[in-house]
Amino acid sequence: MRTDIERDLEHSRAAYLFALRSLPDPGGLQNGTIEANGFTFTNPSQIQSMLIELGWAFYCRYEACLEAFIREQGVKLAKKTTLEDWMNENGVDVPEGYKDGFKEYRKVRNWLHHRDGQNEDGTEIHLYPDHMEQFYHLFVWIASAVAARNDEQSGH
C-alpha cells in the first residue's frame, strides 16, 4: 500500500525523529548547562519534559492523519461507534499484536484532546519514542485495512 496517509505519516514520523535527535544528551549536563535550539537546559528533567511534549505534539499529528484518511474513506465514527467497531462490523480482523493498541489509541487521543494529557487518575501520560513507533505502525496498518476493505466493497 502506498497512499497519501502513509506519506503523511512518514513525513510526521521523520519530523518527530528529527525533533528527538535535536534534544541534548542529558549526560552533557555533567559539564554544566546546555544551550540547544534556543533553550537552556539545566537539569535532566527539562530534557525529559521536552521528550514527553514532543510525543504529545506528534501523536496529535499522527492521529489527525488517520482521522482525515478514514473520513475520506467514508468511515463514520461516533461516540458509541469506534474504529474497532467499524472493523468488526466490516469483517476486518485486527491482528493480535494490534488489539491493545487499538484500544489505547482512542484513549490517548481523548486524553490529549479533552484532558490536557491527563489520564483517568489525573496523572500525566507519557508518550515515549517506542510508543510513537508502535502508533505509527498501527496507523499505517489501519489505513491499509480500511482501504483494502473499501476496495473489496466497491469491487476494485
Query: Tens digit of pLDDT for each residue in 90-114?
Result: 999 999 989 888 888 888 888 887 7
Domain that holds residue 11: 4-154
pTM value is 0.88
Identify whether the C-beta of residue 141 lies closer than 8 Å to the C-beta of residue 95. yes
CA 74, 57, 107, 5 dihedral sign is: positive
Query: Tens digit of pLDDT for each residue in 38-70?
Result: 999 999 999 999 999 999 999 999 999 999 999
Q: How confident is the model at residue 4 (pLDDT cuts 50, 70, 90)?
A: confident
Number of domains in the chain: 1
Buried b (16+ CB within 10 A) or exposed e, 119-142: eeeeeebebeeebbebbbebbbbb
Q: What is the mean pLDDT of residues 119-128?
A: 84
